[in-house]
Structure 1
Amino acid sequence: MSPSVPKTPPRQIRIGDEWHEFDAVARSMGTERAELVRDFIAWYSLRPGARLPARPDVEAWQAGGEPTT
């Protein structure tokens, strides 16, 4: 498998404009949206050892979707 090919197939879900803010918050936490979604699904599906992803402190990001510096 080529390094540019993802290991998991893409899935489609409908999400509103929160998706952009979610990206900014995820980046402020040093992660990606996909990783957080996978972690949540594992936790919600009761996978052994799965943990609910940590939520950021409100100070870690701004409501406008811009991460703080």
Structure 2
Amino acid sequence: MPNQPKTPVSRFRIDAELWKAFGDAVPDDTDRSDVLRRFVAHYCRRPGAKLPDRPPAGPWSEAPKA
């Protein structure tokens, strides 16, 4: 099958506002998927896995106003 990716697409539910804030917090030189893959590898204690760096606080750090 042409263009078959190495990894399957995985889906999960997350609040839309939190997903946007996460995207805003992720540095420009990476993407959300990379951060999530690194976190999952760390969480599963894979050898050599390191927890992704957290960005400094920013506008994404505040909880939405109710």
Query: TM-score band, normalised by the shorter chain?
Result: 0.7 to 0.9
Residue 13 (structure 1) aligned with residue 12 (structure 2):
yes
Cα RMSD between the aligned structures? 1.9
Correspondence list, 1:36-51, <5 A: 36-51=35-50
Q: Which amino acid aligns with 1:53?
A: P
Distance in structure 1 (CA, Å) of the matches to 2:52 and 2:42? 8
Higher relative contact order (CA 8 A, sep 6+): 1
Aligned 8 A contact 1:39 1:52 in 2: yes
Q: Which runs of 5+ in 2 are unaligned?
A: 62-66
Correspondence list, 1:1-69, <5 A: 1-2=2-3, 5-17=4-16, 18-26=18-26, 28-58=27-57, 61-63=58-60
How many positions carry a matched residue from both structures?
59
Q: TM-score, normalised by structure 1?
A: 0.72
Q: Which runs of 5+ in 1 are unaligned?
A: 65-69
Which segments of structure 1 move beyond 2 Å, counting only runs of 4 or more?
61-64
User: In percent, how many aligned pairs have the same letter?
Assistant: 37
